[in-house]
Structure 1
Amino acid sequence: MTKTSLLIKMIKLLRENPGITVLELSKSLERSERTIYRWLREACRGLRLQIVCKDGGYYLADDEQTRRVKLTSQELLALSLSLKASPFSEESPIGKWASSAWRKIRDASPWQDLQTMNELLEAYSVHLTAPKAQNGILPGIVEAIEHAIESRRRVRALYRSQKSAKVKEYTLDPYGVAFRRHAWYVVAFSAEHNKVVQLKLIRFISVSETGETFVPPEGFSVDKFFQSSWECWAGGEPTTVKVRFSPRVAPMISEVRRHPTQVIRAQPDGSIIFEVKVAGIQEIAIWIMGWGKEATVLEPEELREYVLEHARGMVEAYSPAQSDCSPHYVSESEPVSLSTVSAMQDSQ
C-alpha cells in the first residue's frame, strides 16, 4: 500500500475513532510509532488538518463544513420536545439559550425532515410539572444571577422567605442554578446561614453585586449538592428511611426507580420494604403520606412521629366538631366591603 493510501487510511481512523492512540494507529497501519508521529505532523502541515492530542489520544478537528451533523426526523423530534419543555421556558435561566439552539438546528435542517417532524409531534408529548408562576420572575433577576455565576461575583439579594413570610437581605456567593421537580433554584453560599443553601429563583426581589469576588469550594458541583435529596430539598442530614408498602401498591412502587440509593425487598405477603437514604425527612414524608394507609413508616422513629402527627391533625380537621364549624364563603357576585373582609380575617 502506498504512503498516500496509508495517510488516507490514517485520517479515516482518526475520524472514526476519536481518541485513538499512536500505538493503535501503528498496529492498524503496520508502521512504526515513529513513522506515525511523522505522518501526523505531515498531515497538520501539508494537508492543513487540525489534529489535537488529549490524554494520549488523537482527535481530528475538521472544518465547519465536515463537522455538520445530519439529524433524522426522529432526532429533531426529540430535540424539539426537550428544548421546548417547561424547564426551558422563557423565564428559565437557560431559556434563551434553548430557544437559540433550537432556531439554529431548525434553520440548518432540511425542509422535508422538519415536515416529518411536525407530523410526528402529533403523536408525542412531554409535560413536566413546572407550573407557570402567577407573576413571573422579576425583570433583571435571571441576568444578574447568571452574570454573578459566570464572573464569580458576590451579590446582595432581597429575598421573600416562604418560611417567615418576610423579605430578607442575604449576601450570597452564587455557585449555580438547578431545576428540581417543578422550579428553578439558585445554589449559593449564604453568609447569613454560614452554609450553602438553595433559594427559589422566583422569590428574588432584587440582586446587586457587592464588588467582591469569591472562589467556589474545590470540587463543588450542583449535582453533588443535590445527590442525597429526595427530589428538590438538599442540605439535610442523610437519613436511612424504610417504608412498608401494601400488596395493593407494591407493583407501582417497584416499577419505578425513584432514587439512586433505593433498595426494594419483596415480602411473602406481597408487600415490599422500600429503603432509601435521603437528606432530611420532611420532603420524603410528603411523598409517603400521599400513599395514605398503603404506606407504613418503619424507620426512623422521627419520621414515624412526623407522619403520625400529621395524620392526627387530618383526623382532627375532619372530625364532626370541626365539620360543624362552617367556613366563611363569599359569593363573587356579592359586593364585599373592606370592613367585612377584615372581620372575616380576624375571626379565622
Structure 2
Amino acid sequence: MRYSRLADLVRLAMQMQGRADGLSLDDIGQTFEVSRRTAERMRDAIRDAFPQTEEISEPGGRKRWRLPPGTAGRLADPTVDDIAALHRGAELARKSGDLVTATHLDTLSDRLRARLPGKTRARLEPDIAALLEADGVALRPGPRERIPAETLNTLREAILAGVWIDVDHRARASGLLSRNAHLGPLAMLLGEGRQYLVAFSAFAQDVRLFALAGFERIELTDDVFERPEDFDLSAWMQQSFGIWQEDVHDVVWRFTPEAAADARLYMFHPTQVMTDEPDGSLTVSFRAGGLREMCWHLFRWGQQVEILSPDTLRQTMNELNDAAKVKLPH
C-alpha cells in the first residue's frame, strides 16, 4: 500500500531538499509520528515522484535520503499561511521586546514574499492583517520591557561564539551595580514581563539568572566558554515555576468543581499530575521552586483554588494577600 497523504509528502520533500545531510527513516518517523513501515512507504513515494533522490550511506549501514537543490520546483514556493506565520512570529517577538528577532523574521518574510506570484502578493496584506487580528496578536495589550537591540545582539553573538563576557550589571532587587562580572552566557529567556540571561557565574561557580534590563556594559572576551556538560536548560527550568530558581517543593493545588474544567486546560508545570476528585474538583501536583511567582499566578483564580501544600506556599500567599490590601476611604 502506498502512502497517500499529499500534505505530508510535500512537507517531506521540502525537508529532504532543505537538509544537506538528508533524512533517515528514524527522522521521518519522529517528524511525522509514524511507524517505521509507514516511514518506508513515505520515502518510497518520494523516490517514485523524484527519481533523482540521492541515497547517502553512513558508517554502520545507516542510510539517509535527500533531494538535490531545485528538485521540488514550485512546491517550494511559500504560501500565504507561511508568510502570515512569519508576520505572526515577528509581532509576538516585537511585543515581547525582542526587536532583533522581529527584524530577522520581517526580512525573511520579505524574501519569501518576493517568490510569490503577483496575484498572490496583491491579496497578501489583507489576508495577513485578518489572520493576525483573528489570533489576537495585533491587539494584544500588556506591559513589556524594552531591551536595547545592542544588548540582545551582543549576548546572541557571545552565545553563538561560545565565549566568556565581562559585564557591569545592576541587580533588579537591590539596585547594586556589579562591575566586571565574568559570565558564561547560556541562553536568553524572552517573553512577556521580565526578560533574563541564563549564564554561568565565575564568582558563584553556578548557573544564575541576570535581568537583561540590568546590563550596563557587555564586552566579549577571547576566552572560550565551555558549556557545563551536565547542564540541561529544559531540566534546569523545570525546577522552577516561571523563572525563579529556588529550593524545590512538592506543590499541590485543588481547584473547585466550578474551576476544574478551565484549570484542566492549563500547563502549570511540565511535571504536573492532574487528578479528578469524586466531588468534581481537580487536584494538580508538581515539584518546583518559585513560590512567589506561584502566588502571583494563583491570584487570578481567587477563591477557586486551595493550596494543599507546601505550608510555606500557603504562608507566602497569606503574606502577599495582607500586603495587597488597600485601605479604602470612607
Task: For residue 62 of structure 1, report the CA deviation from its aligned partner.
Answer: 0.8
Shift of 1:300: 0.6
Amino acid at match of 1:224: A
1:278 partnered with 2:288: yes
Partner of 1:157: 167
Q: Which residue of 2 aligns with 1:345?
A: none
The percent identity for this pair of structures is 19
- Corresponding residue for residue 246 of structure 2: 236
8 A contact 1:177–1:222 mirrored in 2: no
Q: 1:111 aligns with which of 118, 124, 144?
A: 118
Do structure 1's residue 267 and structure 2's residue 307 form an aligned pair?
no
Unaligned runs of 5+ in 1: 1-11, 29-42, 325-348
CA distance in 2, matches of 1:80, 1:71: 13
Runs of 5+ consecutive residues of structure 2 not aligned to the other structure: 1-12, 27-36, 42-50
> For the residues of structure 2 that align with 1:290 and 1:246, how far apart are their CA atoms?
14
Q: Please say which structure displays the higher CA radius of gyration.
A: 1
Aligned to 1:101: 108
Distance of aligned partners of 1:237 and 1:105 in 2 relative to their CA distance in 1, 3 Å threshold: farther
Q: Which residue of 2 aligns with 1:193?
A: 204
Matched residue SS, 1:71: coil
Q: Which amino acid aligns with 1:63?
A: P
In the alignment, is residue 83 of structure 1 matched against residue 87 of structure 2?
no
TM-score by length of 1: 0.69
Say whether the 8 Å CA contact 1:181–1:231 is kept in structure 2: no
Task: Report the Cα distance in structure 2 between the residues aligned to 1:301 and 1:15, rounded to whole angstroms.
Answer: 54
1:19 to 24, 49, 53: 24
Secondary structure of 1:189's aligned partner? strand
Tell me the distance in 2 between the aligned counterparts of 1:195 and 1:15: 41
Distance 2:161 2:248 in 1: 32
Within a 5 Å distance, the mapping from 1:163-312 to structure 2 comes to: 163-169=173-179, 170-218=181-229, 220-233=231-244, 235-312=245-322
Q: Hey, what's the Cα distance between the residues in 1 that align with 2:178 and 2:157?
A: 22
Runs of 4+ in 1 over 6 A off after TM superposition: 14-17
Distance in 2, Cα, partners of 1:274 & 1:73:
41
Please say if 1:60 is aligned against 2:58. no
Counterpart position of 1:8 = none
Q: Deviations over 1:128-178 (max 9, x none)?
A: 677453xx3346322221221122221111112111022223211111223
Provide, for residues 159-198 of structure 1, a one-character-per-residue CA deviation record: whole Å limited to 9, x for no partner: 1211102222321111122324445421110123321112
Of residues 163-172 and 106-115 in structure 1, the stretch that sits farther from structure 2 once superposed is: 106-115
Q: How far did residue 217 of structure 1 move?
A: 1.1
The match for 1:336 is none
Paired with 1:15 and 1:149, the residues of 2 have a C-alpha distance of 29
d(CA) in 2 for partners of 1:100, 1:62: 26
| Residue 9 (structure 2) aligns with | none
Q: Give 1:215 shift.
A: 0.4
CA deviations on 1:235-258 (whole Å, 9 max, x unpaired) are 323322111222332222123333
Specify the SS of the correspondent of 1:231: coil
Kindly indicate whether the alpha-carbon contact (under 8 Å) linking 2:77 and 2:115 is maintained by their aligned counterparts in 1: no
The change in CA–CA distance for 1:158 and 1:183 in structure 2 (over 3 A counts) is same
Letter in 1 for 2:56: V
Identify if the C-alpha distance between structure 1 residues 96 and 89 changes in structure 2 by more than 3 Å, giving closer, same or farther. Answer: farther
Task: State TM-score, norm by structure 2.
Answer: 0.72
**1:231 positional shift:** 2.5
Confirm or deny: 8 A CA contact 2:93 2:102 kept in the other structure: no
**Cα-Cα RMSD:** 3.4
Alignment of 1:6-45 (within 5 A): 18-19=23-24
Displacement of 1:304: 1.1
